[in-house]
Amino acid sequence: MQLEVIGVGGAGCRIADSIRAAEPAGHAFLTDVFAFDTDEADLQRTVLPESHRYRYGTESAFDDGLEAATEAGQEHAAELLEVLERGSPTEADAFLVAVGLGGVTGGGTVPALVAALQRTYDESVYVLATLPADREFDADAGDPSGLGGRSKRASTTAGENTPPRPDAATNAVRTLERLEGVASAIVPFDNETWLRPGEELADARDRSNRALATRIAAVFAGGGESDGPVAQTVIDASDIERIVGNESAIVTLGYAEETVETTSSKFGLGLLPTEREVETSEAVSAVETVVRKGIRGKLTLECEPDIAARGLLIVGGPPAWLNRQAIAEGRWTLESAIGGSGILGGDAPRPDGETVFAGVVLADVESDRLERLRDVAAQSE
């Protein structure tokens, strides 16, 4: 399928940039990638072409809280749609809007932009949204020293600590509420879960964005345009829509990979490398391993897999490792994990790859993390 990615605000633009970098060679799945922000300096930090970077509004218009930013975002939604015409939005099978929910630029703009996209195009509009970490709105979260979530070194070194955002939880919850019934589906990424002990958000940013982009590419590039072998079972836009729905379901993504041997040498002397023959049992074992890790490993939003209403599995890697039995076993593993039959599965051949990977989608889930943010937001009102 072909995906149009739109990053809004500082966090959204960085995520969009990372997704563009994660597009697999020879497996194009992006029609265009755009970055929209009120901060010209943030836009210039992306590697997107100038025609696909756009500064809108003024920073002052978005500096007076989420309500004021929402009004400003509504005023600029039509303007941003016009900018998208610089690309090829009509060729997209779906739109993915990336945004950080703790702030006001993206949070104020994205609900209006998503609504405008839904009115203008027939394709699904998904929102990829980062959730704020506790230390952004809770000065003492995970910090027995009382330094507001900072190490002593970070607290005394200018520019190294994360600026506090006391309204981050409230902004996130209100933006999610405004996306309800507007976005086709919402994919949260929980910054709190992905932070290492003592790590600052700024230090974790690139690593987290790469992890998120890898998951997006694993799921959406499965049915992308390929210069090599065609998948046995192609997952297209209608399949993804069937799983995630069009009623603003909360969706979480999992991913795992394992390096495999792809060549063997004649006489065992390192001479004349040839494509390695793979035993069925080897392929099944490798696929089983990455599928289980993809389901039970770190998700973009932590939840128990068995509460998911539906699931999607993409298994990719060197074609010799993607035999039908291995993929069928992997799909059965996902079906068993969520305890339901609403499962779709496909494969993504990567002839030049050296890993077998699994991209996992768990749709229509709930999470304790969202409840935590709702509680914090309620207490601050």
Q: What is the pLDDT of residues 198-238, one digit of tens each?
A: 888 888 999 999 999 999 999 999 755 556 677 888 899 99
Token output for 135: 């230390």
Give CA–CA dist 375/138, Å, rounded. Answer: 13
8 and 152 share one domain: yes
Residue 244 placed within a domain = no
Residue 79: Cβ-neighbour burial (10 angstroms; 0-12, 13-18, 19+) = middle
Up-side HSE of residue 164: CA atoms within 13 Å toward CB?
11
41 and 146 share one domain: yes
Q: How many domains does the chain have?
A: 2
pLDDT at position 26 is 81
Write the single-letter amino acid at 27: H
Average pLDDT over residues 302-312: 95
Average pLDDT over residues 350-366: 94
282 and 317 share one domain: yes
Which one has a higher pLDDT value, 17 or 64?
Answer: 17
In contact, 14 and 44? CB cutoff 8 Å = no
Q: What is the residue-wise DSSP string for 88-123?
A: -GGG-SEEEEEEETTSSHHHHHHHHHHHHHHHH-SS
Confidence of residue 150 (pLDDT cuts 50, 70, 90): very low
323 marked among binding-site residues: no
Confidence of residue 271 (pLDDT cuts 50, 70, 90): low
Which one has a higher pLDDT value, 52 or 324?
Answer: 52
Phi then psi for residue 347, to 5 deg, are -125, 160
To the nearest 10 degrees (0 to 180), the angle between helices 168-179 and 368-380 is 110
* CATH number where 255 lies: 3.30.1330.20
* Dihedral sign of CA atoms 171, 203, 5, 7 in order: positive
191 marked among binding-site residues: yes
N- to C-terminal Cα separation, the chain: 43
* CATH number where 197 lies: 3.40.50.1440
> How much is the pTM?
0.90
pLDDT at position 166 is 85
- pLDDT digit string, tens, across residues 159-192: 345 567 889 999 999 999 999 999 999 999 999 9
- Closest-CA residue to 124 (of 97, 87, 93): 93
260 and 212 share one domain: no
C-alpha pair distances (Å), 263 with each of 184, 317, 321: 43, 14, 12
Token output for 214: 């890898």
Residue 154 has pLDDT above 90, yes or no: no
Give CA–CA dist 285/250, Å, rounded. Answer: 31
161 and 264 share one domain: no
Instruction: Give the residue numbers spanning the domain of 158.
Output: 3-225
- pLDDT digit string, tens, across residues 73-107: 999 999 999 999 999 999 999 999 999 999 899 99
pLDDT at position 163 is 65
168 and 304 share one domain: no
Give CA–CA dist 10/58, Å, rounded. Answer: 14
